[in-house]
Structure formats: structure tokens, C-alpha cells
């Protein structure tokens, strides 16, 4: 990348933490032995992975043996859903606003979907209708990737436990980890997915927490690594990097949330002033916008009369990098299933903008966005494109 | 070299649009590539599949130009796919490439390009933009076997003023030579298929239509209205069709000469009955003044032309094969597109 960029796409991936880079390079250089091996370099690799497991178990509020390393968030979600279904059959259930890594497996298994309210919060009455004793797994993400809306897993768990005592609760906490104390908020879940690159490790590494005593059938068979639940030689360097990133993220979290939520509110309040703008996932109380149900880094709007792609293009010309809905494999912007589920028209959803802040976001970044976004929206509305 | 302006090149991932980008770059334009995602999810085929986007992106990277993807899927569905299906359902023969050019490439894309600060757009079509005394016109490309002026007849003055067609003067072989010389990965890529959202595999069109409309079984009648056979889907029959009418082994070859959607019948006849002296048309339009003399009329993308005089009908000089209703008729004066109409 040339020049300085204003990076407001932290929900897609955050800047790699220096701690992660250092840890990773050291492993790549000095500890390339196969962690399943017997000699001393192999044992050293294994020790590093065990340490990483300890670190992550702390951040996730679980026992180290409950931490299963995977090749990322999608793999963790797939392992949770196919793994539970493989060992228990039954019906799988997810919310309509889950990431595709959850939606696609649930669809393939002929599962059921739970509605959300217009503010993105789960429709708990509908959940209670959908969940019965035939259900084997309920998957509800802790934080939505597009809107930043937080779900109350405690309430979800209460319904699941009473309607389907044998069912398991999975949460995709991929978007939550940088901002929330996952250890406590995901406590009610039996299975938890996270992805390293959302908090500063390289891509392609993640964790599925599988609480002790839960039997899942592995999706990937082979050498029996990761307690037989995920075969394949562990990616030592990435796992160690993820642990380093998790440690620093957890340590700094409170301070980051405090600083960034002020910046985010400042940004979102300014964008509220744009005519015909709709901030998602918020409540209005007495004329004041309540963003308490969103993570601190999330600023997500729909603007009438514009198309996201055009706005993003213009922002990029000013070195502001952001996104709209989830990107498809070709790099185009696909219509958002999340906004559709929240009741936004396809047209209005086509004018969405996600500015996601991160631990490196500065006042200057936000000020530039405040200067550019309203200007570009006005210009696009004038040209009618 | 100072920039001649900012130009947005529609890059499909094929050899033509890749070379168009090369030529514009050589001319000194500040080139940005864009691939339109028009169709398809994971199972997409045709001109906007993920692998074609990858080809376009890799070519752009090779040329050192920026590449973007615009998702015009909703507009493609409403302006191209839905009318395509509706045409088939009403017994018409649609041309989706023309509708895509009309609504997507040369309307939506130009408006998007203008909004984003581009002066011009370009495509890899084999056709020429020709300056005439009273404006600019579309003309045939130098490579007559690849000429695509037929599918560009709808371009208006404003669109033509903002459009560059860098391949207009080139033979296809030259295009491939340039691609090879420039070491473009798409130099030997086969030309694209006709209907990009339906694969070339046998039975694909039928499967596609089946998912969207109920196909109607129809009686096949001879010219005296006597039933001689059956087809299981009226919507799949086109005027002039010989195969697939279930009549093999019944004497001399028979052709579909009339389709009656209301009564679900297909009338067949001898080849001679396929010919007519006049074709009824709608949406008749001239680029400038109407031609009172004969013009050359082309009735399909790669068809031959035939002379005709055009008034409220197209009156052929020699008997002409019936034009399937829904097809575009494009009028030429030499290489110049001078008018158009739709067969009814």
C-alpha cells in the first residue's frame, strides 16, 4: 500500500499487532519443528502451542483443554455446526443475521432461522417458538459483523435450556473479541468461535471452544491433533501470534473501548446530521441516540439515494478504506442479508456504509471521515448514481 | 506524457477488453478497470463468474492499473433476466446482450463513471465510433467476422460522446497478437458465449426457464391445422427452428413457421413457407433523418444483411426468412448504423 491510509475497516480485519508479528517471526525462524514430533524442537513447538492455549483460555473464560485451534473463524463455525449435527443429528437453528460461515452450514443441514427486531436484536419470542426438543444446536452470534449489534446470550441460553434441555448453544464471537469481555458474555455458550485476524494476528487461524464433555464428530480427519477434533499439523507461528495478539487486546481492551466509543459517537452524531440517513442498531430515547447495544468500534449507516459502491470508491480516492455489507468472493459488494432481516428495503440497504474503528483509529481519522462522507453523499445524490 | 483524461474500462476478463485497456494506456489515458458483477452466486458461469473477475484483476495488475468490481446484479436481474424470461413466456425471441448494453453497460455504468469523476468509458467491442457531419455514429468494426455494431445500435449521441471503442479498427488476430506480445494471461482465452447467464451445456436454457416459468406443452400443426406432433414446451420454440419439434422421420424437413401462445400451437411448414416479403415492426427509430431509399437490414447478431425499404414495415427486396418476434432489426448504410426496430 502506498501512502498513509485512513483505515476504517477494522470489522473486516484489524492491523496486525506488532506483538503478533514479533512472536510469529521468531517461531518461523527458530522453531519450525512439527509440534506433533518427539525431538526437542518439536517439543518446543508444542510448548509454545500449549502456552498459547493457556493464554487464549484466559481470554475466553474456559479451560485450556477446551481450546481447539482451527484454520480461522469460518472453520470454527463449520466445526461447531457440522460437528454437533454429526454426533447428535437433530435440528440446527441460527439467527437470520449470522455470518455466512454459520448461515451456509445451517442451510445445508435444513435448519431453521430466527428473526431479529428492526434494531437487530434477536426476536426472543420467535426463538422460543422455533426451539423445541428436536433442536440439537442453536447458533447465535455475540456481535453482528455488519451492524455491531450485541446479543444477550444469557437470555438466549435461558430459552434454549428450558425449551430444549439437551441442545447446545454456539456463539460466533469473532466480532466480539476486540471489544467485549467474551469470557463473561459468552459464558452461557457451550461452543465459542473466534478468529485471530479480528484482533491482530495473521489470517487463517482461530479457535473453537468446546466445553468439556461435549462430543462432536470431527469434520477433518487425520493425525488426531487437537484432541482428535481438528486433525492437521498446527500452524505454530499463527497460533503463537494469535495468543500474543489476544493478550495485548485483552490487556488494552478497557482503555480502547473507552477512547474509541467517544470517537465513534462523535463520528456517528455527525453522520446523523446528513439528511435521510439511518443509523442501524440504535435506539432513540428522548431525542438522544442510544448506542449501548453496539460495540464501541461500530458506526453503520444507510443513506437514502446513494449506492455504497460509488461512495466507497470516492472514499478510497481520499485514502479512506471502509466497506458496506459483507464482501463476496469477487470483491463486489453484495446486498446485505443482515439489513434485509432487519427490515431495511433492498434499495436503502444498497446505500449502507460501515465505518469500523479499531485500536489504532485516531481523532484525525475520524475528522477526515466527517469531512468527506457528507460531501460525497451530497455529490452522489446530485448526480443520481 | 500528460494524461489524456480519466477513463473507466469495462473489463470482462476476456482478451478483447484486456487489450482495449492496453491500447488506452498506450494512448496516454489514466486507465481504471472495472468488472461488472451481473449475475450469479457460487455457481455462476459466463462473463461475470468469479474466475473471469480474477482474470480481469490479474490483467489489470499486470498493466499496473487499478481494478474494481461493481455489483450491478439487481439491475441485471430487473432489466435483462426478467425481460428475457418474460419474452420467452410470450413466445418472443429476446436478445439479452442488447438489453444489457442498453441498461447496464451504457447507462448505469456511464452514470456511475460520471459520478466517480471519469471523463470517458471504454469497452472491448468490435465496432467503430464514426464522426459524421451531423454527429457521431456507430459503425461496423474492421473485423467483419467479429463485428458487434448490431448489439450497440441503441447508443445515443450523449453516450457515444463519452465512449471509446479501441478495438474498432482491429482484426481479432491483431488483438490476440497484442495480448500475446504483452504476455497477457488471457491471450488464448476463448471468446465468450452468447447468453452469459446460461451455460453452454445441453439443456441449460430449458433448465433455466423451468425454474422461473411453467413451460407449456403445445400441439404441432401443419398448415391446414392438422395435429402432426407435440412439443413439451412452447417457450423453447423459435421461428425457423427445425430440430426438436418431434417430427424426425416424417418426410421432408419441417420448420416452425408460426407460434401461437394463446392457443399453445406451433405451425410447421416447408422451408419456402419461412420466407416473407415484409416484417412488421415496432419501436422504429432513425439515427438522423429517415432513409427513403433502401437500407441493409441485419436481423441477428452475426447474421447477413438484406436490402429492404423501411416505412411502417420492413419491406424486403427479396423474400426474407421470417424474423422471430422480439428480435432487433438494425439498419445499415454501408458500415454505418442508421436505424433500428423490433420485429413484432
Predicted confidence (pLDDT) per residue in A53-81, tens digit: 999 999 999 999 999 999 999 999 999 99
- Please state the separation of Cα A306 from the chain's center in Å: 27
Residues B158 and B221 in one domain: no
Q: Which of B269, B289, B309 is where one domain is finished?
A: B269
Determine the Cα–Cα distance for residues B177 and B19; give it in Å rounded to an integer. Answer: 10
The answer on pLDDT for B125 being more than 50 is yes
Q: Using CB atoms, which residue from B70, B112, B117 is nearest to A332?
A: B70
Residues B226 and B153 in one domain: no
Q: Which of A248, A272, A307 is where one domain is finished?
A: A248
Q: Do B70 and A384 touch (CB under 8 A)?
A: no
**Does B323 lie at the interface with A, CB-CB under 8 angstroms?**
no
Residues B21 and B159 in one domain: yes
Residues A37 and A167 in one domain: yes
CB A41 within 8 A of CB A31: yes
CA A50 to chain B, closest CA, distance in angstroms equals 38
Residues B126 and B160 in one domain: yes
Give how many domains chain A has, as a whole number: 2
Determine the Cα–Cα distance for residues B50 and A98; give it in Å rounded to an integer. Answer: 24
Sign (positive or negative) of CA dihedral A178, A179, A184, A190: negative
**Does A1 lie at the interface with B, CB-CB under 8 angstroms?**
no
In B, which residues are within 8 Å of A332 by CB distance? 37, 53, 69-71, 73
- Which chain A residue is nearest to residue B32, measuring alpha carbons? A313
CB A115 within 8 A of CB A96: yes
Q: Which of B269, B294, B316 is where one domain is finished?
A: B269
Residues B249 and B281 in one domain: no
How confident is the model at residue B49, as a pLDDT? 62
- Which chain A residue is nearest to residue B50, measuring alpha carbons? A330
How does the average pLDDT of chain B come out, rounded?
Answer: 92
How confident is the model at residue A82, as a pLDDT? 98
Tell me whether residue B276 is one of the annotated catalytic residues.
no
Determine the Cα–Cα distance for residues A309 and B56; give it in Å rounded to an integer. Answer: 18
Residues A257 and A108 in one domain: no
Strands B265-269 and B255-260: antiparallel
Residues A243 and A263 in one domain: no
Is B146 contained in some domain? yes
Which class for A17: exposed (0-12), middle (13-18), buried (19 or more C-beta within 10 A)?
buried
**Does A213 lie at the interface with B, CB-CB under 8 angstroms?**
no
Paired with A169 in beta bridges are A138
Name which of B183, B187, B136, B140 is nearest B163 in CA terms: B136
**Does A2 lie at the interface with B, CB-CB under 8 angstroms?**
no
Q: Do B53 and A313 touch (CB under 8 A)?
A: no
Q: Which of B269, B285, B307 is where one domain is finished?
A: B269
Residues A215 and A158 in one domain: yes
CA A313 to chain B, closest CA, distance in angstroms equals 7
DSSP string, B33-91: EEEEE-S-STT--STTSHHHHHHHHHHHHHHT-EEEEEE-HHHHIIIIIHHHHHHHHTT
Sign (positive or negative) of CA dihedral A199, A201, A202, A206: negative
- Residue-range definition of the domain harbouring residue B303: 275-343
Determine the residue among A332, A352, A379 to mutate to test chain B binding: the one whose Cβ has the most chain B Cβ atoms within 10 Å.
A332
Q: Read off the C-alpha cell for A99.
A: 455470518
Torsion angle defined by CA atoms of residues B199, B203, B209 and B212, in that order, rounded to the nearest 10 degrees: -90
Q: Which of A248, A276, A297 is where one domain is finished?
A: A248
Give how many domains chain B has, as a whole number: 3
Is B208 contained in some domain? no
Residues B328 and B251 in one domain: no
CB A171 within 8 A of CB A208: no
The answer on pLDDT for B249 being more than 80 is no
How confident is the model at residue A327, as a pLDDT? 60
Is A1 contained in some domain? no
Residues A236 and A315 in one domain: no
CA A323 to chain B, closest CA, distance in angstroms equals 13
Determine the Cα–Cα distance for residues A254 and A252; give it in Å rounded to an integer. Answer: 6
**Does A380 lie at the interface with B, CB-CB under 8 angstroms?**
yes
Residues B46 and B104 in one domain: yes
How confident is the model at residue A6, as a pLDDT? 98
Residues A348 and A324 in one domain: yes
Q: Which of B48, B100, B276, B285 is catalytic?
A: B100
Q: Point out the residues of A that are catalytic.
A: 328
- Residue-range definition of the domain harbouring residue A49: 18-248
Is B99 contained in some domain? yes
Is B46 contained in some domain? yes
Residues B162 and B279 in one domain: no
pTM of the full predicted structure? Answer: 0.89
Is A184 contained in some domain? yes
Residues A221 and A335 in one domain: no
| B194 phi/psi in degrees, rounded to 5 | -75, -55
Determine the residue among A1, A315, A383, A385 to mutate to test chain B binding: the one whose Cβ has the most chain B Cβ atoms within 10 Å.
A385
How confident is the model at residue B215, as a pLDDT? 94
Q: Give the residues of chain A that fall short of pLDDT 50.
A: none
Instruction: Read off the CATH number of the domain in which B262 is found.
Output: 2.30.30.280
Determine the Cα–Cα distance for residues A279 and B299; give it in Å rounded to an integer. Answer: 52
Residues A243 and A259 in one domain: no
Instruction: Read off the CATH number of the domain in which A55 is found.
Output: 3.40.640.10
Over the stretch B153-206, which tens digit does the pLDDT of each residue have? 999 999 999 999 999 999 999 999 999 999 999 999 998 776 888 887 888 889
Q: Residue A184: enclosing H or E segment and its boundaries? A: helix A182-185
Residues B308 and B265 in one domain: no
Residues A239 and A258 in one domain: no
Q: Do B111 and A335 touch (CB under 8 A)?
A: no
**Does B40 lie at the interface with A, CB-CB under 8 angstroms?**
no
Residues B248 and B323 in one domain: no
Q: Which of A217, A248, A279 is where one domain is finished?
A: A248
Q: Do A330 and B70 touch (CB under 8 A)?
A: no
Instruction: Read off the CATH number of the domain in which A257 is found.
Output: 3.90.1150.10
Residues A240 and A271 in one domain: no
Residues A118 and A173 in one domain: yes
Determine the Cα–Cα distance for residues B162 and B105; give it in Å rounded to an integer. Answer: 12
Tell me whether residue B100 is one of the annotated catalytic residues.
yes
Residues B222 and B131 in one domain: no
Is A110 contained in some domain? yes
The answer on pLDDT for B243 being more than 50 is yes
How confident is the model at residue B44, as a pLDDT? 46
How confident is the model at residue A385, as a pLDDT? 60
List CB contacts of A209: < 8 A, sequence separation 6 or more.
A60, A62, A66, A67, A68, A186, A189, A191, A192, A193
Residues B150 and B164 in one domain: yes
User: How many helices (DSSP H) and strands (DSSP E) are in chain A?
Assistant: 12, 14
Residues A181 and A271 in one domain: no
Instruction: Read off the CATH number of the domain in which B326 is found.
Output: 2.40.30.10
Q: Do B115 and A332 touch (CB under 8 A)?
A: no
- The radius of gyration of chain B's CA atoms, rounded to the nearest angstrom, is 22
How confident is the model at residue B244, as a pLDDT? 83
**Does B118 lie at the interface with A, CB-CB under 8 angstroms?**
no
Indicate the pLDDT class of residue B42, thresholds 50, 70 and 90.
very low
Is A376 contained in some domain? yes
Determine the Cα–Cα distance for residues A356 and A7; give it in Å rounded to an integer. Answer: 8
Q: Do A332 and B37 touch (CB under 8 A)?
A: yes
How confident is the model at residue A326, as a pLDDT? 62
Determine the Cα–Cα distance for residues A105 and B62; give it in Å rounded to an integer. Answer: 37
Q: Using CB atoms, which residue from A313, A329, A335 is nearest to B68?
A: A313
Between A and B, how many residue pairs show a Cβ–Cβ distance under 8 A?
Answer: 49
**Does A334 lie at the interface with B, CB-CB under 8 angstroms?**
yes
Q: For the residues B195-219, what does the mean pLDDT come to?
A: 89
Q: Which of B47, B97, B196, B276 is catalytic?
A: B196
Q: For the residues B62-70, what does the mean pLDDT come to?
A: 95
CA B111 to chain A, closest CA, distance in angstroms equals 6
Amino acid at each position: 500500500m502506498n501512502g498513509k491510509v485512513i483505515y476504517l475497516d477494522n470489522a473486516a480485519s484489524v492491523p496486525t499487532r506488532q506483538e503478533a508479528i514479533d512472536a510469529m517471526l521468531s517461531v518461523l525462524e527458530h522453531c519450525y519443528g512439527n509440534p506433533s514430533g518427539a525431538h526437542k524442537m518439536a517439543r518446543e513447538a508444542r510448548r509454545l502451542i500449549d502456552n498459547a492455549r493457556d493464554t487464549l483460555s484466559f481470554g475466553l473464560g474456559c479451560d485450556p483443554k477446551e481450546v481447539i485451534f482451527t484454520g480461522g473463524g469460518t472453520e470454527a463455525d463449520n466445526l461447531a455446526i457440522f460437528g454437533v449435527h454429526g454426533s447428535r443429528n437433530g435440528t440446527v437453528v441460527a439467527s437470520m443475521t449470522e455470518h455466512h460461515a454459520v448461515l451456509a452450514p445451517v442451510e445445508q443441514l435444513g435448519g431453521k432461522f430466527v428473526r431479529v427486531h428492526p434494531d437487530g436484536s434477536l426476536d426472543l419470542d420467535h426463538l422460543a417458538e422455533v426451539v423445541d426438543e428436536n433442536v440439537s444446536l442453536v447458533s447465535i452470534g455475540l456481535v453482528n459483523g455488519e451492524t455491531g449489534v450485541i446479543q444477550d446470550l444469557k437470555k438466549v441460553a435461558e430459552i434454549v435450556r428450558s425449551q430444549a434441555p439437551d441442545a447446545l448453544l454456539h456463539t460466533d464471537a469473532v466480532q466480539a473479541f476486540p471489544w467485549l469481555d467474551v469470557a463473561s458474555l459468552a459464558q452461557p455458550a457451550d461452543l465459542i468461535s473466534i478468529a485471530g485476524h479480528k484482533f491482530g494476528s495473521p489470517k487463517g487461524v482461530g479457535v473453537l471452544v468446546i466445553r468439556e464433555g461435549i462430543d462432536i464428530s470431527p469434520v477433518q480427519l487425520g493425525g488426531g491433533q487437537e484432541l482428535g477434533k481438528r486433525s492437521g499439523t498446527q500452524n505454530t507461528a499463527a497460533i503463537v501470534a494469535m495468543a500474543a495478539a489476544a493478550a495485548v487486546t485483552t490487556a488494552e481492551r478497557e482503555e480502547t473501548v473507552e477512547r474509541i466509543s467517544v470517537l465513534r459517537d462523535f463520528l456517528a452524531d455527525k453522520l446523523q446530521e446528513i439528511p435521510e440517513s439511518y443509523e442501524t442498531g440504535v435506539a432513540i430515547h428522548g431525542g438522544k441516540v442510544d448506542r449501548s447495544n453496539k460495540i464501541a468500534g461500530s458506526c453503520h449507516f444507510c443513506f437514502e439515494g446513494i449506492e455504497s459502491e460509488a461512495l466507497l470508491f470516492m472514499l478510497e480516492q481520499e485514502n479512506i478504506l471502509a466497506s458496506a455489507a459483507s464482501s463476496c468472493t469477487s470483491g463486489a459488494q453484495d446486498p446485505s442479508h443482515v439489513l434485509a432481516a432487519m427490515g431495511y428495503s433492498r434499495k436503502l440497504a444498497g446505500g449502507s456504509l460501515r465505518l469500523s474503528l479499531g485500536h489504532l483509529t485516531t481523532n484525525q481519522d475520524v475528522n477526515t471521515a466527517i469531512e468527506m462522507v457528507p460531501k460525497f453523499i451530497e455529490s452522489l445524490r446530485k448526480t443520481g448514481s | 506524457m500528460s494524461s489524456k483524461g480519466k477513463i473507466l474500462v469495462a473489463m470482462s476478463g476476456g482478451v478483447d477488453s484486456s487489450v482495449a485497456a492496453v491500447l488506452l494506456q498506450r494512448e496516454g489515458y489514466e486507465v481504471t478497470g472495472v468488472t461488472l458483477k451481473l449475475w450469479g452466486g457460487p455457481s455462476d458461469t459466463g462473463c461475470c463468474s468469479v474466475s473471469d473477475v480474477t482474470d480481469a484483476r490479474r490483467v489489470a495488475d499486470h498493466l499496473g492499473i487499478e481494478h474494481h468490481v461493481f455489483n450491478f446484479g439487481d439491475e441485471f436481474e430487473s432489466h435483462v433476466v426478467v425481460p428475457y424470461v418474460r419474452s420467452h413466456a410470450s413466445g418472443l425471441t429476446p436478445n439479452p446482450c442488447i438489453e444489457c448494453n442498453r441498461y447496464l453497460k451504457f447507462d448505469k455504468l456511464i452514470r456511475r463513471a460520471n459520478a466517480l469523476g471519469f471523463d470517458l468509458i471504454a469497452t472491448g467491442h468490435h465496432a467503430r465510433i464514426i464522426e459524421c457531419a451531423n454527429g457521431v455514429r456507430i459503425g461496423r468494426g474492421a473485423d467483419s467476422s467479429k463485428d458487434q455494431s448490431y448489439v450497440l445500435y441503441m447508443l445515443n449521441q450523449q453516450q457515444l460522446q463519452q465512449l471509446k471503442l479501441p478495438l474498432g479498427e482491429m482484426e481479432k488476430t491483431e488483438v490476440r497478437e497484442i495480448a500475446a506480445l504483452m504476455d497477457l494471461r488471457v491471450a488464448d482465452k476463448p471468446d465468450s458465449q452468447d447468453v452469459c447467464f446460461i451455460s453452454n451445456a445441453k439443456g441449460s436454457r430449458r433448465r433455466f426457464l423451468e425454474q422461473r416459468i411453467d413451460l407449456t406443452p403445445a400441439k404441432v400443426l401443419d398448415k391446414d391445422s392438422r395435429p402432426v406432433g407435440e412439443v413439451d414446451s412452447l417457450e423453447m420454440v423459435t421461428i425457423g427452428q427445425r430440430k426438436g419439434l418431434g417430427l424426425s422421420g416424417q418426410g421432408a424437413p419441417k420448420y416452425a413457421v408460426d407460434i401461437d401462445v394463446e392457443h399453445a400451437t406451433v405451425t410447421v411448414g416447408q422451408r419456402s413457407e419461412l420466407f416473407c416479403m415484409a416484417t412488421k415492426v415496432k419501436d422504429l427509430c432513425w439515427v438522423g433523418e429517415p432513409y427513403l431509399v433502401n437500407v441493409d437490414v441485419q436481423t441477428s447478431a452475426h447474421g447477413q444483411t438484406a436490402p429492404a425499404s423501411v416505412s411502417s414495415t420492413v419491406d424486403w427486396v427479396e423474400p426474407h426468412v421470417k424474423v422471430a418476434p422480439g428480435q432487433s432489426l438494425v439498419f445499415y448504410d454501408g458500415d454505418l448504423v442508421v436505424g433500428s426496430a423490433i420485429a413484432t
